[in-house]
Each structure stands twice: as C-alpha cells, then as structure tokens.
Amino acid sequence: MNKKEISEIKKQFTPSRCAITRICGCYVNGEKEKKAQMKEMFLSLPEEEMFKYFDIFRKTLSGTIGKNLVNMEFPMETEDYGGTQAFLMSLRESQLNDPNLLNEFYDKVIESYDNGEHYLILLIHSVYDVPGKTTDGLEMDDASDEVYDHILCAICPVKLSKPGLSYQAEINEFHDRIRDWIVDMPEVGFLFPAFNDRSTDIHNILYYTKNPEDLRNSLVDRLLGCVLPLTAKSQKETFQTLIEDTLTGEGDYEIVRTIHENLTEMIEEKKEEPEPLILDKTDIKKLLSNSGVAPEKLENLEKQMDEVPPVPFMASNIANIRKFEVKTPDVVVQVNPSRADLVETRIIDGRQCIVIEINDAVEVNGIPVRFRSSGENISPEDTYENTEDIF
C-alpha cells in the first residue's frame, strides 16, 4: 500500500465516514491470562468512546512506509487450509461474529506476542464502499463498484496511571489520586487484506510497528506467517556493507559523497509520489556506476548482491537526506546535504586533511570568530567586530 491508499482508509475513522460494523477486544494480563473480553456493534458505542478508538485505529495506520508500516506478502502455503492467511480469511468472513474464531485468534496472539505486561487486543471489522474516481482524482460516491471488506487489529499496552494528587471538587480538597489502568497507543497491529490499487488484495497485509527496529519476529512468523523483512536499520547496514565491499576497502571520498548526493537527488525527485522509492539490484548498480565507481569494481557488487537476500532496499532507509556526516575517531563534521561540496580531502604538508570551505560567518560555541591569514597577528580588539556578540 502507498501513502494515498493508507490515507484513504484512515479517513474512514470519523463519525461521518465510519464503516466499522463490529469491535471486539480481549484484555490480557502480564501472566498471559485473559481477564476480560468485549464484543459490540461499533456504532452503538458512546460518541466519546468512539473518538478514543478512532485515535487508536488511525495510529495503527501511521508512520513511515518501510519503517513503521511494512507491506508483507503471504507465502503461497499460508493460503491453504489451516494456514495463517486462510485463518485470517475465515475471521474476516465471520465478520467477528464467531466466538470460537475470536478465541482462537486471541490465543494465537497471546502465544506469539512476547510481552510481560498487560495489553489489550482490539479487532474491528469494517466494510468500505470504495467510491469511483474521475481521471483527475475526484471521488464519485455514486459510482462505487467494489466493497473493501477488511479487519484491523491493534495491540495496545495497558499501563497503570501515574501516582499523584488530585483535586476532588465535591469536597473542595486535594487527595491521593486513584490509580487506574490506561489503554495506550498500539505497539503493533495489522490491516488485512491490503488495500492495493484501491482494491482488495488478499495476498498481502499491511503491518504496523511502533518501533521500526522491533518487528516482533514471533508475531509476524507465527500469527501472520509472513516472511520477515529487513528492518530499516538492517537495510542501511546491508547497503553500507555492499558499498564498502564493492570498493574493496579503497572507498574514495569523492565517490562516496557522489553516491550520497545522487541518492538524495533521486529521493527528492520522487518525494511527491505516493509510492516510496525502492532500489533493486539493477538500480543500485546504476547508482554506483553514475557515481564514478569503476566497471571492475562493479563486478564485486554483482558477487555481493548474490549473497544478500533478494529484498529490495527502500531509499529512505539507506540514505539520510537531512545530513551529510564526515567522521573520524576524534572529530565529527555535519554538513547541510545540499552543500556537501564544501567539504574536500587534501594532502597538506604530507598529512591527510579534511578541508571545509568557509564563505559565511563562523561561530565557535556560539561566539563569532574569524581566521587569521598566514603570518597575520590579530590584536585582541580586532578579534570581534562587536564585543556584544560574545555574551
């Protein structure tokens, strides 16, 4: 799913657009015991509660695609009888009306979700009448030709509120606040089936994780049965290793800088498009070639790529477009990515040096300074144009 498709589903979480038919939940304590269950027609809930649930469901579809929101495909065997995808299909088709299926789902979550604290498993069924669209993107509510029948799951921590004093208006006094259990925003969740090309895709699922570096491997493997993708951090580390091994330890500064600049430019060109920029083997080879990597070095890339799992790299995961960093054991230089050309490497007096061109004002710990020319002596009164700038 891309940004537009995710946004379209999130827009349904309002009173005027709500397509949720039923909400179910199971409260689990730290010992993995079911303490309470609920099953309600969603539109029968008090309006104040509906808004709280809308916040949770919107959060389950929030974040960066490829980091917090991960598109996953079901292996073919999971769609056979008894498979994880087949079970989710049965759950959706029941419209959450089958208590046996619900209990089985809760048991599967409890078995695969490694968490030593209290949490709430929320599950909703929703039926979205997908409106048609004109060629210029305008919705036509009276031209719908598909119904998107789906379920959404959110697993939320339940935490004890903080201790403190509270004002009790009925007696006009302050006393110890009664602590109660609060449902927090979700840690993980999923939307099934996926809403790809504004249509139902039963072969894919959209997975949410609050922490991009903790995909909850057991939950993905045992509950969903999907192939676990590389995390954003793992993608970046794998890409950096590919570059390092391709250049065989002889990484030229200019080449590495050019790779960063070209990658940043590619991301900027695609930033308005709903689909994230994804690089496969061919794209990476072209990127390195356009950045000045010699053809013989690209042969190393071919060998390295054959040893890497065939998972495409998301450009936003492997490049930091907000900063350009040059690092030594003792010095870290951070540069505006658009002005990486200001940093050069030179041999001066037989020593390797990082040279930074300075055209504007310079400050050291907030104090404006200027640099003396070779052989120039600077008197104290000439050090600053205005002594008020020091303080």
* Secondary element (H or E) of residue 328: none
Residue 266's φ and ψ, nearest 5 degrees, are -60, -40
First to last CA, the chain: 53
pLDDT digits (tens, 9 = 90+) for 236-285: 888 888 888 887 755 677 888 888 888 888 888 887 887 888 888 888 88
Q: Which pLDDT value is given to residue 391?
A: 33
pLDDT digits (tens, 9 = 90+) for 28-40: 998 999 999 999 9
Distance of CA 296 to the CA centre of its chain: 36
Average pLDDT over residues 186-192: 96
Q: Which of 110-124, 323-337, 377-391 has the highest mean pLDDT?
A: 110-124
Lowest mean pLDDT among 187-196, 208-217, 289-298: 289-298
As a whole-number percent, the residues of the chain with pLDDT over 90 amount to 43
Q: Which pLDDT value is given to residue 283?
A: 86
pLDDT greater at residue 317 or residue 145: 317
Looking at the predicted structure, is the pLDDT value of residue 139 above 80?
Answer: no
Helix, strand, coil % over all residues of the chain, rounded to 5 = 35, 30, 35
Q: Do you find a cis peptide bond into 193, omega within 30 degrees of 0?
A: yes
pLDDT greater at residue 60 or residue 263: 60
**pLDDT tier at 387, thresholds 50, 70, 90:** very low
Specify the long-range contacts of residues 95-101, CB closer than 8 Å, at least 24 apart.
Answer: 95/21, 95/22, 95/125, 96/21, 96/22, 96/24, 96/39, 96/123, 96/124, 96/125, 96/151, 97/22, 99/39
pLDDT greater at residue 201 or residue 331: 201
Looking at the predicted structure, is the pLDDT value of residue 375 above 70?
Answer: no
pLDDT greater at residue 79 or residue 339: 79
Q: Confirm if 363 and 369 have CB atoms less than 8 A apart.
A: yes
Residue whose structure tokens are 């789906």 = 150
Q: Which pLDDT value is given to residue 279?
A: 85
Q: Which pLDDT value is given to residue 119?
A: 95
* Secondary element (H or E) of residue 119: strand 119-130
Among residues 308, 289, 309, the alpha carbon closest in space to that of 298 is found at 289
**pLDDT tier at 311, thresholds 50, 70, 90:** low
Looking at the predicted structure, is the pLDDT value of residue 142 above 80?
Answer: no
Q: Which pLDDT value is given to residue 103?
A: 96
pLDDT greater at residue 42 or residue 382: 42
Half-sphere exposure of 85 (CA within 13 A, CB side): 19
Looking at the predicted structure, is the pLDDT value of residue 138 above 70?
Answer: no
Looking at the predicted structure, is the pLDDT value of residue 51 above 80?
Answer: yes
pLDDT, averaged across the chain: 85
Looking at the predicted structure, is the pLDDT value of residue 346 above 70?
Answer: yes
Q: Which pLDDT value is given to residue 210?
A: 94
pLDDT greater at residue 120 or residue 138: 120
- Other Cβ atoms less than 10 A from the Cβ of 192: the count is 21
Structure tokens at 374: 């070779």
Q: Which pLDDT value is given to residue 143?
A: 61
pLDDT greater at residue 355 or residue 128: 128
d(CA 3, CA 66): 11
DSSP 17-67: T--EEEEEEEEE-TTS-EEEEEEEEGGGS-HHHHHHHHHHHHHTT-S-BTT
User: Which amino acid is residue 14, in one-letter code?
Assistant: T
Looking at the predicted structure, is the pLDDT value of residue 374 above 80?
Answer: no
pLDDT greater at residue 233 or residue 390: 233
Helices 84-93, 99-112: crossing angle, 10 deg rounding: 140
pLDDT greater at residue 130 or residue 312: 130
**pLDDT tier at 357, thresholds 50, 70, 90:** confident
Q: Which pLDDT value is given to residue 180?
A: 84
Lowest mean pLDDT among 12-26, 80-94, 147-161, 318-332: 318-332
pLDDT greater at residue 303 or residue 9: 9
Q: Which pLDDT value is given to residue 280?
A: 83
Q: Which pLDDT value is given to residue 365?
A: 78
Structure tokens at 252: 């030229």
Q: Which pLDDT value is given to residue 377?
A: 54
